[in-house]
Amino acid sequence: MTEDIRCELISWERFHELARELAYAIHQAGFHPELIIAIGRGGYMPARIISDYLDVYDLTDIRIEHYHAVHMQRAARVRYPLTADIAGKRVLLVDDVSDSGDTFETAIQHLRERGEPVQLRTAVLHHKRVSSYKADFYAEEISEWHWITYPWAVIEDVTGFIERMKRRPATVPGIRARLARDFGMRVPASTVADALRFMSPPATPGTRRQRR
């Protein structure tokens, strides 16, 4: 990726709107899952909201690794496999975004190896047209590729963008300005400060101060 990658920051309010729209689309299609499987980590939050709207109690997950912050690994792989029994069930597989499509393709192949559901449908908040896989349900389609930062991954992504900066500014206002200029990411100063705080190594533990 180049340094001037463009980014869209999704608020908690916008996320809930998208999840609600996604749940409604599934409901209107007449699909009634018995089991919802979240693709971790991005699918955890949307899957939980969808399970609430659709009144689905059985919710589990698998972990597929592909991206770490803004850095992409070479291939998607299953890190934590499915443990639930899906044979003969109506299953909904949920993630936050379909980007390259590799994550969904890897997840579906893994599910097929663990049992044969009577129905398997997929859902995602954002479908990017460049993706090789198109989910059965999505809340929003992205025609021009850009990076999407969800509210549960703000520190992770801000940290990744800061690490990519050449000649990184020394101040929080300077970093905020660079984030806005280079990536189109506008975040509060407190978010930048938190990212910098957790990027720093922890202080060496010292002896406890004695009370005077």
70 and 129 part of one domain: yes
- What local confidence, expressed as pLDDT, does residue 111 receive? 93
Q: Identify whether 70 is part of a domain.
A: yes
87 and 21 part of one domain: yes
173 and 68 part of one domain: no
The amino acid sitting at 126 is H
173 and 112 part of one domain: no
**CA nearest to 102, candidates 136, 121, 82, 128:** 128
54 and 136 part of one domain: yes
- pTM of the prediction? 0.86
Token pair for 178? 């660079």
51 and 156 part of one domain: no
pLDDT tens for 128-149 read 999 999 999 999 999 998 999 9
Q: Identify whether 160 is part of a domain.
A: yes
pLDDT tens for 11-33 read 999 999 999 999 999 999 999 99
Among residues 128, 144, 160, the one where a domain terminates is 144
- Going by C-beta distance under 8 Å and a sequence separation of 6 or more, which residues neighbour residue 187? 9, 154, 158, 176, 179
Q: Does 112 sit behind a cis peptide bond, omega within 30 degrees of 0 on the bond before it?
A: no
Q: Identify whether 118 is part of a domain.
A: yes
30 and 63 part of one domain: yes
Provide mean pLDDT across the span 108-128.
Answer: 94
Q: Identify whether 189 is part of a domain.
A: yes
pLDDT tens for 171-195 read 999 999 999 999 999 999 999 999 9
- What local confidence, expressed as pLDDT, does residue 124 receive? 98
Q: Identify whether 205 is part of a domain.
A: no
Alpha-carbon distance of 16 to 82, in angstroms, equals 26
pLDDT tens for 69-95 read 455 555 778 888 888 899 999 999 999
H or E stretch including 18?
helix 12-28
Alpha-carbon distance of 90 to 95, in angstroms, equals 17
3-state secondary structure of 95: strand
What domain count does the chain have?
Answer: 2
140 and 158 part of one domain: no
- What local confidence, expressed as pLDDT, does residue 5 receive? 81
90 and 116 part of one domain: yes
Provide mean pLDDT across the span 100-107.
Answer: 91
157 and 122 part of one domain: no
Q: Identify whether 3 is part of a domain.
A: no
How many other C-beta atoms lie within 10 A of the C-beta of residue 57? Answer: 8
Q: Identify whether 168 is part of a domain.
A: yes
* Pairing verdict, β 59-68 and 71-80: antiparallel
Q: Identify whether 184 is part of a domain.
A: yes
Length of the chain: 212
* DSSP classification of residue 101: S
59 and 138 part of one domain: yes
Over 70: is that where the pLDDT of 2 sits?
no
23 and 63 part of one domain: yes
pLDDT higher at 66 or 110: 110
Q: What residue numbers bound the domain in which 188 lies?
A: 151-198
